Structure 1
Amino acid sequence: MPQSRPSIYDRYIPALSAEPSDLPAYRFVFLAGTANLLLNEGSGLEAIPSAADAAELGFEPSRSLYLGTLGGAPCYAAEAPEGAVPPDGTAFLPLRSLYEVLDEDLFHLAGRALQMLNWDATHRFCGRCGTTLTLADRDRAKVCPNCGLSQYPRLSPAVITAILKDGKILLAHAAHFQNDMYGLIAGFAEPGETLEDCVRRETMEEVGIELGEIRYFGSQQWPFPNSLMIGFVAEYAGGEIAVDGEEIAHAAWFGPDELPNIPPKVSIARKIIDWYAEEYGSPTDTPKTVDPDTFI
């Protein structure tokens, strides 16, 4: 199994309130109602706009949250109002398309910014009494000043699994996938089940087969809008493929030299499939992929 990637916390220190700094702040600015991130021309850290004040970017943000520091510089998540015009030399670009423009730490930090903005926009009022929520002092949370209910940023855990049989991998085409793309079996965890239970249930529901050993692969935050993807590799144990006809339109076993169109590198699905192709294939096997702008 692959080694874990370096932690984002090697460079990034989360915090709730900003300390005085002489460094311009990095601004992870998203256009309201979208996952489109404001970027400078260029790549890597230089692509993230920096300014002492968000108004220097040409518009007043409709919401802004402090994220902490990156290399000592303060970082903010900000939302540009609907219809905001990007300054000269910048553009709003879909976050999913930026995986190879930003390094992985920056991509994940941008994802954190997007999730925080979504949480701030969708948790404005108390679900118990309807009172306007306020930011907590000591936690990344919102608190009701009337009844005391706390609301934390929402995470929706989902499993995604490579199923292996005799050196082949099971790939499935969901009805909503574009470009005839095939991916892995995935689904959200339900209350009362373990992640392994979820892997077995989703597999049985979607393709009707039983699993043997299940091994952890890795995880990925997926901020569209608030998922945490937990990857596994599982061994086939029995049964014939029988797709549900609702979520899954077709599924089949594929060898490493016969892979169909697969998800782009931005996804943990692709990381798992690439691992499989490397472990079971020859050096000349080159997986086909879809454009990340059309990946759903």
Structure 2
Amino acid sequence: MSRIVHPQDLGKAAQNFKAGCAILLIAEEGVWASDQHWQTVGFDWWQGNAEALGLGLDDVHYVAEFDGQDYFAIYLESSDAMQNGQWQGLRQLLPHLNEAEFELLGRASQICQWDRNHRFCGHCGHVTHYHPKDRARACDNCGLHSYPRISPCIIVLVSRGEYCLLARHQRYKTPMFSCLAGFIEAGESAEQCVSREVFEEVGITVHELTYQGSQSWPFPGQLMLGFRAEYKSGDILIDEEEIAEAGWYHYSQLPLVPPRESISGQLIQEFVDSFS
């Protein structure tokens, strides 16, 4: 089984950027891939292309140790810099990734996006630099340290006997139904968020909340906290700005749902499996 090891000392780990390391390439379009499988380049690629692409060591990010090899990530401002392959969005690659691969690629993507957005201090506007040991960009002018932004969200599968509540979001281009989800607001607990989001999106109340697990979701930087909840009262009344349609579905007659690699798919599958 693939294993990811996160660095205790980022500065020390960054010294492994040398022959033998693996480099993940990230661009606006996604990650560098070939035939629906993510690809890496070696240190020789860096030696031959960095200067022409205007890349410096500040553009190189240590990601993690994966299966005994050190992985780094580099963001390319121009996706045209690569040939003999293609850029693939993480969502499109998800069905072809195992859990460790999704964690590795998601981490690389989030780190690159964070770094791009914090090259200048959000407080005083001065240029920032990489902290020597931590995953942070530091401002020498005012002392502000900017860490990768993680947005906590809840995702919940509401059940009512042999039926579960699934909804199709307005932003979905495909007729896919999923669990309800939403961002946790300032000063709000995860459990409070579950009750609020369910009521706001579909107009019902829930109880008997149970925490099921979590998943990093790099679109662009959420931490999804998964819950199960039981229906309590009310009739479905959707928020038409966010939800296109919602309904109760029997565990044996589900519509198109997210893949099992996602926490939404896992919550749904666990519900189905509870009746086998």
- Confirm or deny a common fold (TM above 0.5): yes
Residues 1:269 and 1:130: Cα distance change in structure 2 (over 3 Å):
same
Paired position in structure 2 for 1:39: 33
Report the CA distance between 1:42 and its aligned residue.
8.1
Across the aligned residues of Structure 1 and Structure 2, the Cα RMSD in angstroms comes to 2.3
Paired position in structure 2 for 1:241: 236
Q: Does 1:51 align with 2:46?
A: no
* Residues 26, 48 of structure 1: 8 Å contact kept: no
Amino acid of the structure 1 residue aligned with 2:77: P
CA separation in 2, counterparts of 1:140 and 1:171?
A: 38
Paired position in structure 2 for 1:291: none
Report the CA distance between 1:147 and its aligned residue.
0.9
Paired position in structure 2 for 1:289: none
* Residues 243, 250 of structure 1: 8 Å contact kept: yes
Amino acid of the structure 2 residue aligned with 1:276: F
Paired position in structure 1 for 2:63: 67
Residues 1:275 and 1:236: Cα distance change in structure 2 (over 3 Å):
same
Paired position in structure 2 for 1:139: 134
CA separation in 2, counterparts of 1:190 and 1:27?
A: 36
Q: Which runs of 5+ in 1 are unaligned?
A: 1-5, 283-296
> Percent identity at matched positions?
35
**DSSP-derived class of the 1:77 partner:** strand
Q: Does 1:11 align with 2:4?
A: yes
- Aligned partner of 2:219 among 224, 227, 234: 224
CA separation in 2, counterparts of 1:183 and 1:70?
A: 31
Question: 1:89-113 deviations in whole A, cap 9, x for unaligned?
Answer: x332222222343332122111000
Report the CA distance between 1:245 and its aligned residue.
1.6
Paired position in structure 2 for 1:255: 250
* Residues 55, 61 of structure 1: 8 Å contact kept: no
CA separation in 2, counterparts of 1:168 and 1:244?
A: 21
Report the CA distance between 1:131 and its aligned residue.
0.9
CA separation in 2, counterparts of 1:146 and 1:22?
A: 32
Counterparts of 1:162-201 in structure 2, within 5 Å, are: 162-201=157-196
CA separation in 1, counterparts of 2:180 and 2:54?
A: 39
TM-score, normalisation: structure 1 = 0.83
CA separation in 2, counterparts of 1:267 and 1:81?
A: 29
TM-score, normalisation: structure 2 = 0.88
Report the CA distance between 1:183 and its aligned residue.
1.0
The alignment covers a number of residue pairs equal to 268
CA separation in 2, counterparts of 1:104 and 1:273?
A: 17
CA separation in 1, counterparts of 2:239 and 2:35?
A: 45
- Aligned partner of 1:77 among 73, 77, 84: 73
